[in-house]
A and B are shown apart, each in its own frame.
Chain A
């Protein structure tokens, strides 16, 4: 059982040659918490995961996983983490069962119930099929299954639902939430604002290697977004729309007037999405 934060990062930096990819970011992920790293491609999300999993050495700053400094040479933390990579790096000529059994053996697990693991990600019945026969979605589910085999204390999930159909994506999100509920600290990178909003306890907006905002999705919306009511009215033969901000209270009379208008067609409340807030803060979209 973890006592301190699963992940603790302070002033972390990384460069690819002259290009500074991560510029002194700081954050923590507590046990049972899902931190969503939200940002466009090239923002520094995957590079941060590479440093935290021991694949890349930070240029400066402190990065601790399970209290162990990842730059110290002590790689004991790797026995207690699970990683789902963006690239689907499975042994294609091995079956799902062989893949899981092999990686489990590296964690010292000799009695893995592969059927149960595969059932959890909806791959029951395909255990003995070679992974090269799997569809993209099935391979992604295998990636998730592999990340969970050692019941990790810290989970790094790099775009775990990228390219999946909505049903499979929803199923994987449920599984990720179950891992957090078990007590795992989860760092989830995504450029899917819906996923970040639905799954994350907190969200960090990362852009050009910097964290520009970090908070709960609700607080971010309250802090940076504007609440409004969108009203659609009949206008002769056409339809016109009117948006009334709710935050300053100055439109209350107009709102009451429209609500009682015989021309009223529909009335919807609106709140800012994480993507809108991201654009507001960075001047760029998440797909960039």
Chain B
């Protein structure tokens, strides 16, 4: 490995990358997939109820509403501004709590409470906010509920579908940026003869492949992190998430190098990717269907990179809990590197026309 030559080839590939449709596709894909899957399963067009409050005193109601999860709260100083925002649908509802409201309420004097509801807001949001407002009034008043409500959860408690789709999106980011981009780049260099042109200069085939692998690792890691961020799945341990994503990118990048070395031309490359598709994709499906026997997912190589990402990002676990998976992923990466080195000799014989 000669860093100076690796850097020269890497710099060239960085300059060429944005001119390649596959490179651009790898950038667009996480955004497109997130949009599609969030529309189908997620919350992109089902935002949290938005409530504005003008608290003219220091009401307990405000603090209680602030403590409720799943409501987007905006504090304003001016009642007219609150009304304007509700009218323009910037807020679903608005509440003006007058000074001394809590004291009046506790003294059973039925104070006035202005509650504005936007005509264009979702009916569900209006209902949620109205019920919350009434419930908070009762809590401040200190009264007992007039009925006992028994809540029964139907169905197994699980993560929302939008969250279970995260491995699918991350998988695609890793496979397209980490596998397909370097694979296609190697094949293109072979088809256009530019690899041959490089190899009659002092640069060696190992320098070229390492440069492409490094680019694949960085690019795949970036796109995987972007995918996690877009889906709100980065979790609190972001340094550990980055570490896990880098291991995953190392494996997918090396797989891309092997595929690129093996494929003689674009047709064979696409054939290999299509053939490998389900084999690679399988572990991601198991996260969408958690009721399936999860041990089957472990039979597929990319399980060992998807599972650590899932645990450390979405589930918020420590990297220490997935050390075995990471070790196996690194072992697979090393095995692929050895395979790439052996297959490179065959590729050079092919290029010489043997």
Contacts and interface: CB of A to CB of B under 8 A. Distances in A.
Interface stretch (A52-60, A166-174, A249-257, A278-286): A52-60
Given A55-B351, A98-B15, A106 B202 contact: yes
Nearest to A143: B197
B16 to A, nearest CB: 6
A105 B348 CA distance: 23
A254 B16 CA distance: 72
Contact of B200 (A83, A94, A108): A83
Contacts of A94: 12, 15-16
A64 B202 CA distance: 17
* Chain A at the B interface: SS class: loop
A78 B203 CA distance: 9
A89 B192 CA distance: 5
A56 B354 contact: yes
Contacts of B197: 83, 85, 89-90, 103, 146
A55 B196 contact: yes
A90 B194 contact: yes
Nearest to B8: A105
A29 to B, nearest CB: 17
Contacts of B353: 16, 47, 50, 56
Most chain B beta carbons < 10 A, residue from A16, A56, A79: A56
Nearest to A98: B15
Contacts of B348: 55
A102 B193 contact: no
B19 interface: yes
B199 to A, nearest CB: 7
Contacts of B15: 94, 98
Contacts of A144: none
B16 A78 contact: no
A242 interface: no
Nearest to A81: B200
Contacts of B20: 93
A165 interface: no
Nearest to A80: B202
Contact of A54 (B193, B200, B354): B200
B354 A16 contact: yes
A75 interface: yes
Contacts of A16: 353-354
A170 B120 CA distance: 77
Nearest to B20: A93
Contacts of A90: 192, 194, 197
Nearest to B352: A56
26 contacts: A16-B353, A17-B354, A50-B353, A53-B200, A55-B199, A55-B352, A75-B202, A78-B201, A78-B202, A79-B201, A83-B197, A85-B193, A89-B192, A90-B194, A91-B12, A91-B194, A92-B192, A93-B19, A94-B15, A103-B201, A106-B8, A106-B198, A106-B201, A106-B202, A106-B203, A108-B202
The 4 A-B residue pairs with the shortest CB-CB distance, nearest first, are A89-B193, A56-B352, A106-B201, A93-B19
